[in-house]
Chain A
Amino acid sequence: MTILLVIVVIWAAAVGSVSVPLTQSARIVASRFPFVNKEELLEGIPKANKLIIWNIRLPRVLLSGMVGGGLAAAGVVMQALFRNPLADPQVLGISSGAAFGAAVAMALGITFTVSGVSSIWLFAFTGAMLTMLLVFRVARIATSRSVTGILLAGIACSSMLTAAITLLMMWNREKLEQIYLWMLGSFSSATWLKVGFIAVVLVTAVLCFTVLGRDLDLLSFGDQEAQSMGVSVRRTRTIAVVATSLLVAASVSVSGIIGFVSLIIPHIFRILTGPKSRRLIPLSLLGGAIFMILCDMISRTAAPPSEIAVGAITQVTGAPFFLYLLWKERRKGERE
């Protein structure tokens, strides 16, 4: 699957309004690895192609891959944590927080860029983090132990923020399209800085998830049984929720709200390979990355020169496949 991911990255980088041959794309990617002879690899490739691949396409492809993988992995953890197949990071209200932050920046016309960090990105991330803190705060007051508390607080915050965004859009009609498009999600503003930012958060979060893999499996039997087998339930839950929240906050702040990936990818792999977290998390990570890169590729090439919102494509392509898998799984269940 890792090999498949590499192929998809190279392929996606080659496809676009200016078509670059696959071999050139592969050579440009390879030239950045250490211990290779750059001059030899890059010989005969037009400078424009090098620039397009390296400065425009590759950051975008990598960003979409990492956001897709991150959201999918976050989905696995959320579903295990809340013991609910429908749980996904959006219910924590983090995405809405990010959207609200971005909407505020756009509505107030705050546009600045400090060393590559745009105001919208900054506002979105801040919004997501503040929402996360608020949700935890409220949840702690409401019920100190239950997950349902967090879930309810998240949903409440989420709908409140969505209402606030709608108001912002109504009061600033001229910004309506911009805000709406941001919320649908896009990778068009990808930069190497964003790639680096997501990479750091993603690696940290995935490391946490991997350590917690076994604990998450045991938690599927409920807090009490998990605890009787030695799981520090509260510690596990805190680490997992904080890591997922950070990952989701970082993801939506660079790409907007891209729904469905965190729900569908984990389920696909759960059907294919079973529920063990230690297998499910890396597979969902890779699968989510491949899926998102392909969706983004469609979004920028299907109707040039304009782009189709990538969130719409994830749903259009993902949902039927998911339904097919569910149907197949049911047939299998009936035969047994």
Chain B
Amino acid sequence: MTERVEGVNQPERSSCDLEAKNLTYHPSGAKEPILSDVSYTFARGHMTALLGPNGSGKTTMLRHFLSQIRSPEGAVLIDGRDTRDFSPKERSRRIAWVPQNSSGDSAFEVEDVVLMARYPFKGMWDGDSDEDRKIAEEAMKTVGVYQFRKRDFSSLSGGERQRVLIARALAQTTPWILLDEPTSNLDIKHQIQTLQMLKEGVDAGKMSAIVVMHDFNMVEKYCDRAIILREGKVVAKGSVSEVLVPEIMREVYEVEFDVVEKGGRRLFVPRSGIT
């Protein structure tokens, strides 16, 4: 039962597309499907914003990518290969996940938590190699959590935990990284730092990212593509400038937005009245 994990098995970073193909999810007992016939190819080398109101199916879509849900209808393909054919380790060498809130409240030290991400590269008996430690150290430094690497994960604040989870996902060295509202617990400085860091990673060709977010100004600044879901259907997709237009946003969010040009960038200001 020994499993050999060799460097060869690791896919080239940022070398594969992630494709949702006719993804439909209709849990038994639910009136309406949560996802209906969603097709979209997340192209490599981009930071794509996954937008939509609460309950529109964003997280469900991410969960399909992670094989946490396996719907009989539709498929998720990585470089043309159905993710259902991947073993958990194979899949997790390609896609990393940053959950919105970690359910872990463990006494593990931050350093050990980040090192856990090296699991898919390990055989059954392997310990942590020097290379693993180097990768973890680098990830912690990139996200700025290196200074509390020896602290217990459970002793951290919500924002600090969120950054540790991002470091953990980076240490998984996958071509794809999925982030579910990665900045929801962060103060404004760390929001900017985190998104900047992700964008730099994507621009440097280290990875491609799908980010669930709600702040259009941040989307405008850091993402280059966007897809909007509403009631499990794709409403708009394409470049950020195509997707983020007041008409679509009004339709999806039922909020009027004023668009202000400032320094070559658009700013989205919600009007107080709800349509």
Contact = CB atoms under 8 A, between A and B. Distances in A.
Contacts of A222: 102-104
Contacts of B67: 227
B107 A224 contact: no
Interface stretch (B84-92, B188-196, B207-215, B265-273): B84-92
Contact of A214 (B66, B97, B119): B119
Given A224-B99, A225-B99, A230 B106 contact: no
Interface in B92-134: 92-93, 95-97, 99, 102-104, 106-109, 112-113, 116-117, 119-120, 122, 124-125, 127
A217 B66 contact: no
Given A221-B102, A222-B103, A274-B108, A227 B116 contact: no
A214 B5 CA distance: 15
B104 A230 contact: no
Interface in A214-252: 214-215, 217-218, 220-222, 224-225, 227-233
A198 B251 CA distance: 68
A95 to B, nearest CB: 27
A228 B92 contact: yes
B68 interface: yes
Contacts of B120: 229-230
Contact of A231 (B103, B119, B155): B119
Contact of A229 (B63, B92, B107, B109): B92
A230 B91 contact: yes
B172 interface: yes
A230 B124 contact: no
Interface residues of B, number: 33
A211 interface: yes
A229 B124 contact: no
A183 to B, nearest CB: 34
A270 B107 contact: yes
Contact of A230 (B102, B107, B108, B119): B119
A328 interface: no
A211 B124 contact: yes
Nearest to A224: B68
A233 to B, nearest CB: 8
A217 B108 contact: yes
B103 A225 contact: yes
A217 B103 contact: no
Contacts of B87: 232
A249 B127 CA distance: 31
Contacts of A229: 92, 96, 116-117, 119-120, 172
Given A211-B124, A230-B93, A220 B68 contact: no
A276 B113 CA distance: 10
Contacts of A232: 87-88
Given A221-B113, A227-B92, 17 more contacts: A211-B124, A211-B125, A214-B122, A217-B112, A220-B108, A221-B106, A221-B116, A222-B102, A224-B99, A227-B67, A229-B92, A229-B116, A229-B120, A230-B93, A274-B107, A274-B109, A275-B106
8 contacts: A218-B116, A224-B63, A224-B99, A227-B92, A228-B68, A229-B119, A229-B120, A274-B109
